[in-house]
Amino acid sequence: MTSGLSTRSAAALLAGVVLAWGTNWPVTKMVVHDVPPLWATAIRCMIAAATLAPMLWAQGAFIVPKRGDLPVVFCTSILHLVAFSALVAAGLQFVPAGRAIVLGYTTPLWVAIGAALFLSEDITRKRVIGIGFGLAGLAVIFSPQTLDWSDRNALFGSGLILIAAFCWAANIVYVRAHKWISTPFQLVFWQVLLAAALLASIAWVMEGAPHIVWTARLAALMLYSGIVCTAFANWSMTMVNRSLPAVTTSLCLLATPLFGICSAILILKEPLEPSLFLVMALIIGGIALGTVAGPWRPKAVQFATKYQSPP
């Protein structure tokens, strides 16, 4: 692969991505405590767009999207950056960040099913076993022993994040079928910019004009989410994908939800729930089983290395 990065530098960037995406969940939960979820997501996208534009310009990668790439720009903006991100931000108002991470990372399960239905991808025996592991994890997290079914807020929040995972999966299925003209990194600025405009418009209608009490803490959280977790992470993944084997990258990224749960425990002081680690073991085990084996490896790796971005 052509890259100016050494293996050690690429590994350090990959570790930075896991750190950024893992901590973004508790950071988002803290942000929506002070900012309505739609405005929080819109501002984050504005910050990311303002950061990505000079990064792309400096690398000579700033382009105007070609007509053939416009569908993927709109699809990713609407389904991933608007629907997924806003639903997750809203859901985090009602459920702990650890539970939200687990539900959000069921996305590959729905991708596998959607790819079989709409892209005619074969469901191999290992893929079926992987999906089975993931669904077993989902059954555990929704069991009466781990979820209070009398708590309407918990059910509503969990439902929002599960719907968000469906939206993310739908976007990934479309992205798989798209015939790329430009690279994903060249288009990410336009996707984020469009998402910022859509989210701000929707937020103005649904939440009204923003009445935000800015503090140094809130500003730092917003900048971290927009610059580090979105702009830096997308740039880093572009560099990592050119420097490390795809399977290595995709498997390392599976540490993201586990790191997210641990960061939620440390940052938000959420109680340690052993059931979450059981659920993550089932879900990550199922994803890993499909990623490293079977005829669907290239598609799975493409998802894991390019589209495992945070809310």
Could you report the per-residue pLDDT of 37-70, keeping only the tens digit for each? 999 999 999 999 999 999 999 989 999 999 999 9
Give the confidence band of 301 by pLDDT, cuts at 50, 70, 90.
very low
Helix, strand, coil % (nearest 5) of the chain?
A: 75, 0, 25
At residue 206, the pLDDT reads 93
Q: Which of 94-103, 121-130, 169-178 has the lowest mean pLDDT?
A: 121-130
**Using CA atoms, how far apart are residues 161 and 255, in angstroms rounded to an integer?**
20
**Using CA atoms, how far apart are residues 284 and 282, in angstroms rounded to an integer?**
6
Q: What is the mean pLDDT of the chain?
A: 87
SS3 254: coil
234-258: average pLDDT: 82
Higher pLDDT, 247 or 83: 83
116-134: average pLDDT: 84
At residue 4, the pLDDT reads 56
At residue 274, the pLDDT reads 82
pTM across the whole model: 0.87
Please write the tens of the pLDDT for every residue from 167-218: 999 998 998 889 989 988 899 999 999 999 999 999 999 999 989 999 999 9
At residue 119, the pLDDT reads 87
3-7: average pLDDT: 68
**Using CA atoms, how far apart are residues 221 and 198, in angstroms rounded to an integer?**
22
Q: For residue 145, how many other CB atoms are within 10 A of its CB?
A: 7
**Using CA atoms, how far apart are residues 169 and 303, in angstroms rounded to an integer?**
10
Q: Does position 292 have pLDDT exceeding 70, yes or no?
A: no
Q: Which two tokens stand for residue 161?
A: 């994040």
Q: Residue 72 belongs to what H/E stretch?
A: helix 70-75
Q: Domains of the chain: which residue ranges? A: 7-306
Rg (CA), the chain: 18
- CB–CB of 263/23 below 8 Å? yes
At residue 304, the pLDDT reads 42
